């Protein structure tokens, strides 16, 4: 069974999975894993159940058992809607994927859409839309208002709300239909459409909505950490931005290395040197870069980098 729903379709297996969850919520992960294994004896093709078993096994200190369960998830659900391949890489049981699976990212944000604003802004001190907008205003104040701002990975529209007054026309794109519905409720975008930012520029639906080289500003607030090595998105932005147009975006700070890192959060962190290289490869000049705490995660600050770059003529 490859459904993203946690139900196995078997009453006895579901009941045992509920017991396992209760043990896990009490911190008894070894017991939870044992009961989950019993449930999977009933329904061995239950991908969601194997994923839950992997979680319990990992938290009980049995990383090899967790990896084995995750391999079962990938075998049962090759689309990897659960992100099991990412977890295998975090456990050092597989190579780091160049990018996360699209079904995983889409499901993650569809599930998160209804509580996104409350959870991120009120509970996690999320500040990227405001700080990114300030970065643009500080270094491109003479350019505003922008004729067209293209907000890629717009989510629920937090950057759009922040930047609406500086845009004559504001368009937003996101993979998640749930996020787009929430963005539409805010009433700040002139146009919203679904787009998979992991696709190559040649096939990206960004260009089904208008001509190339149309945007005066392209924004990507808190998006690139879900796109891995960024091999597709930078060429797409280079085609979307007009000559002299700006690209404002944030990443999680990947430190002093020269390649992306996959963190236990299943988000990618990007070193400054790597981002500078991607910008240069795709015809952008760096205008400004700032370091910032972009949110909190498990009570700890998440350090990020905010960039503003200009498309070469």
Residue 1 lies in a domain: no
Of 95, 124, 151, the position where a domain reaches its end is 95
In this structure, the strands spanning 146-152 and 241-253 are unpaired
- The verdict on 76 and 161 lying in the same domain is no
Which CATH number belongs to the domain containing residue 17 in this structure?
1.25.40.10
**In a shared domain, residues 129 and 41:** no
Strands 300-311, 284-297: parallel, antiparallel or unpaired by DSSP? antiparallel
Q: Which residues pair with 278 in a beta bridge?
A: none
Q: What is the CATH number of the domain that holds 181?
A: 3.40.50.150
Split into its structural domains, the chain has a count of: 2
Regarding whether 57 and 15 lie in a shared domain, the answer is yes
Domain boundary among 63, 95, 127: 95
Whether 114 and 91 share a structural domain: no
Mean pLDDT by 10 residues, the chain (313 residues): 60 93 96 96 95 97 97 96 97 96 93 80 82 93 82 95 95 96 96 95 87 95 95 96 97 95 96 97 97 88 96 92
Does residue 103 sit within a domain? no
Q: Which domain holds residue 21?
A: 11-95
- Are 136 and 224 in a shared domain? yes
Q: What is the pTM of this model?
A: 0.91
Sign of the four-CA dihedral 113, 158, 254, 96: positive
Whether 29 and 89 share a structural domain:
yes
Does residue 124 sit in the same domain as residue 91?
no
Is residue 26 in some structural domain? yes
Q: Which of 139, 87, 121, 132 is nearest to 224 (CA)?
A: 132
Helix (H) or strand (E) segment spanning residue 186: helix 177-186
DSSP secondary structure code for residue 97 in this structure = P
End of a domain among 69, 95, 121? 95
The residues near 284 (Cβ < 8 Å, ≥ 6 apart) are: 234, 238, 247, 309, 310, 311, 312
Partnered with residue 172 across adjacent β-strands are 151, 192
- For residue 163, give the 3-state DSSP assignment: helix
The gap between the terminal CA atoms of the chain, to the nearest Å, is 52
DSSP string, 193-243: EE--TTS-GGG-GGGTSS-SS-EEEEEETT-GGGSTT-TTHHHHHHHHEEE
Tell me the three state secondary structure of residue 291. strand
User: Is residue 253 located within the same domain as residue 166?
Assistant: yes
34 lies in the same domain as 119:
no
Q: Are residues 141 and 285 in the same domain?
A: yes
84 and 132 share one domain: no
The pairing of beta strand 215-220 with beta strand 241-253: parallel
Query: So what's the pLDDT on residue 5?
Result: 53
Omega cis (within 30) before 145: yes
> Considering the domain boundaries, does residue 3 fall inside one?
no
What pLDDT score does 10 carry? 87
């Amino acid at each position: 069974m490859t459904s993203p729903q946690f139900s196995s379709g078997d009453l006895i297996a579901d009941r045992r999975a509920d017991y396992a969850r209760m043990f896990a919520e009490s911190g008894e992960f070894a017991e939870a894993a044992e009961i989950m294994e019993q449930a999977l004896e009933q329904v061995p093709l239950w991908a969601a159940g194997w994923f839950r078993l992997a979680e319990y096994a990992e938290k009980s200190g049995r990383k090899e058992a967790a990896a084995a369960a995750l391999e079962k998830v990938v075998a049962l659900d090759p689309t990897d809607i659960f992100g099991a391949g990412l977890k295998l890489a975090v456990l050092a049981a597989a190579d780091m994927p160049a990018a996360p699976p699209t079904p995983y990212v889409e499901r993650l944000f569809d599930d998160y859409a209804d509580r996104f604003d409350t959870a991120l802004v009120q509970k996690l001190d999320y500040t990227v839309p405001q700080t990114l907008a300030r970065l643009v205003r500080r270094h491109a104040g003479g350019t505003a208002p922008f004729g067209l701002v293209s907000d890629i990975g717009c989510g629920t529209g937090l950057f759009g709300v922040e930047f609406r007054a500086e845009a004559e026309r504001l368009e937003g794109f996101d993979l998640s239909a749930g996020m787009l519905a929430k963005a539409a409720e805010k009433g700040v975008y002139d146009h919203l459409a679904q787009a998979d930012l992991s696709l190559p520029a040649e096939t990206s639906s960004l260009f089904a909505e208008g001509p190339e080289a149309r945007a005066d500003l392209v924004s990507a607030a808190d998006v690139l950490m879900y796109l891995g090595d960024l091999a597709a998105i930078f060429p797409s932005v280079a085609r979307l931005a007009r000559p002299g147009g700006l690209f404002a975006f944030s990443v999680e700070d990947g430190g002093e290395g020269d390649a992306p890192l996959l963190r236990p959060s299943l988000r990618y962190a990007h070193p400054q040197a790597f981002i500078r290289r991607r910008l240069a490869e795709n015809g952008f000049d760096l205008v400004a870069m700032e370091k910032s705490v972009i949110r909190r995660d498990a009570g700890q600050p998440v350090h990020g980098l905010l960039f503003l770059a200009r498309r070469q003529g």
